[in-house]
A and B are shown apart, each in its own frame.
Chain A
Amino acid sequence: DAGVIQSPRHEVTEMGQEVTLRCKPISGHNSLFWYRQTMMRGLELLIYFNNNVPIDDSGMPEDRFSAKMPNASFSTLKIQPSEPRDSAVYFCATSKGQPYGYTFGSGTRLTVV
Chain B
Amino acid sequence: AQSVAQPEDQVNVAEGNPLTVKCTYSVSGNPYLFWYVQYPNRGLQFLLKYITGDNLVKGSYGFEAEFNKSQTSFHLKKPSALVSDSALYFCAVRDSNDYKLSFGAGTTVTVRA
Contacts and interface: CB of A to CB of B under 8 A. Distances in A.
B is bound to A: yes
A107 B49 CA distance: 22
B25 interface: no
A55 interface: yes
Contact of B43 (A42, A95, A104): A104
A48 B43 CA distance: 18
Nearest to B44: A104
B27 interface: no
Contacts of A91: 43-44
Contact of B51 (A99, A102, A105): A99
Given A99-B51, A101-B49, A31 B99 contact: yes
Interface of A is mostly: strand
Interface residues of A, number: 24
A53 interface: no
Contacts of B45: 104
A106 interface: yes
B97 to A, nearest CB: 9
B43 to A, nearest CB: 4
A106 B41 CA distance: 8
Interface in B1-59: 32, 34, 36, 41-46, 49, 51
A81 interface: no
A107 B44 CA distance: 9
A55 B99 contact: yes
A93 B41 CA distance: 16
Contact of A50 (B36, B41, B99): B99
Interface in A68-113: 91, 93, 95, 97-99, 101-107, 109
B100 A101 contact: no
A48 B100 contact: yes
Interface of A: 4, 31, 33, 42-43, 45, 48, 50, 55-56, 91, 93, 95, 97-99, 101-107, 109
Interface of B: 32, 34, 36, 41-46, 49, 51, 90, 92, 94, 96, 99-101, 103, 105-106
Closest 4 CB pairs of A and B: A104-B43, A104-B44, A101-B34, A106-B43
